[in-house]
Amino acid sequence: MTGQTAISVLLVDDHPLVTEGIGACLETWDNITIAGTASNGRESIEAACQIKPDVILMDINLPDMTGLQATRHIRARQPHSKIIILSMHDNREYVISAIEEGACGYLLKDVSSSEVATAIETVYRGGNYFSTDVAKALTGPKQHSVLTKRETGVLALLAKGSTNKMIGRELGISERTVETHRKNIKRKLGISTTAGLTRYAMENGLTN
């Protein structure tokens, strides 16, 4: 991109060492410049509107809201900016949710700096970019193997309309334990609502 304006990038992560590390690596590329950083969702929204970066690298786990929620707000206010989600999770539901919220890419945090730069260049030019494992999660069959056997059982009963008390009685565990399982299921699948869990269970044949 010699002679062309560098791609401006906003880094969003609540860990300073992460933003500093990624920033230092990306600054070695002549066609990329770090326009700013943000440590939470609200800061990222404000920074996106003020800086108007070409590309935003958005951590999925932020202290005040999820990176997906921040992505939705930014896309509504600053649609010019292309957003790439950074995550440790390659779960299909996370990736699909990211796409639905308007993200153009999804990278796992263990990718190389050169791949991050490639992703930035790709989405800047109007394309989409997903790291290899993420692409496999999108194209492969849906899996619920991330759940334990007990969590799968709780999800199946939940999808049938059972309450925590009913599930506890059915499985011989306490309501508090059932609630803990529900929270873990939502976290692992990246699904925040009971309706979403029910749909997931139906799509994966857990209600048969």
The partner residues of 137 in beta bridges, in order of sequence, read: none
pLDDT for residue 4: 64
The angle at the Cα of 101, spanning 100 to 105, to the nearest 5 degrees, equals: 85
The total number of structural domains that make up the chain = 2
Q: Is residue 1 part of a domain?
A: no
- Do residues 76 and 40 both lie within one domain? yes
Same domain, 88 and 174: no
Q: Is residue 195 part of a domain?
A: yes
User: Which pLDDT belongs to residue 31?
Assistant: 94
- Domain-located, residue 81: yes
Residues 13, 116 within the same domain? yes
105 with 185, same domain: the answer is no
Clarify whether residues 22 and 122 are in a common domain. yes
Pair 128, 64 in one domain: yes
Q: Is residue 2 part of a domain?
A: no
DSSP state of 181: H
DSSP reduced 3-state for 15 = coil
pTM reported for the whole predicted model: 0.67
Residues 17 and 52 in one domain: yes
Same domain assignment for residues 41 and 92:
yes
Task: Say what the pLDDT of residue 1 is.
Answer: 46
Amino acid occupying residue 63? P
Question: Are 89 and 107 members of one domain?
Answer: yes
How many Å apart are CA 15 and CA 35, to the nearest integer?
17
- CA dist 155 and 69 (Å) reads 25
Please check whether residue 208 lies inside any domain of the structure.
Answer: no
- According to DSSP, residue 28 is labeled T
Q: What is the pLDDT of residue 5?
A: 83
The residues pairing with 107 across neighbouring beta strands, listed in sequence order, are 86
Same domain for 25 and 117, yes or no, is yes
Among 139, 164, 192, identify where a domain stops: 139
Provide, for the chain, the percentages of residues in helix, strand and coil under a 3-state DSSP scheme, each rounded to the nearest 5. 50, 15, 35
pLDDT digits (tens), the chain, 208 positions: 445 689 999 999 999 999 999 999 999 999 999 999 999 999 999 999 999 999 999 999 999 999 999 999 999 999 999 999 999 887 777 888 888 889 999 999 889 999 999 999 999 999 999 887 777 666 555 555 578 889 999 999 988 888 999 999 999 999 999 999 999 888 887 787 787 788 778 777 776 6
For the record, the structure tokens of 160 come out as 């049938």
pLDDT, residue 138, reads 64
* Residue 164 belongs to domain spanning: 149-203
Token pair in block for residue 49? 């509107």
List CB contacts of 36: < 8 A, sequence separation 6 or more. 10, 11, 47, 51, 53
Whether 30 is in a domain gets the answer: yes
Q: For residue 79, what pLDDT is reported?
A: 94
- Whether the Cβ atoms of residue 123 and residue 129 lie closer than 8 Å to each other: yes
Q: Answer whether residue 107 is part of any domain.
A: yes
CATH number at residue 183: 1.10.10.10
Domain presence at residue 59 = yes
User: Same domain for 100 and 40?
Assistant: yes
Size (the chain), residues? 208
pLDDT value of position 155:
92
From the list 106, 120, 12, the residue with the least C-alpha distance to 59 is: 12
Residues 20 and 80 in one domain: yes
Q: Give the domain CATH number at 92.
A: 3.40.50.2300
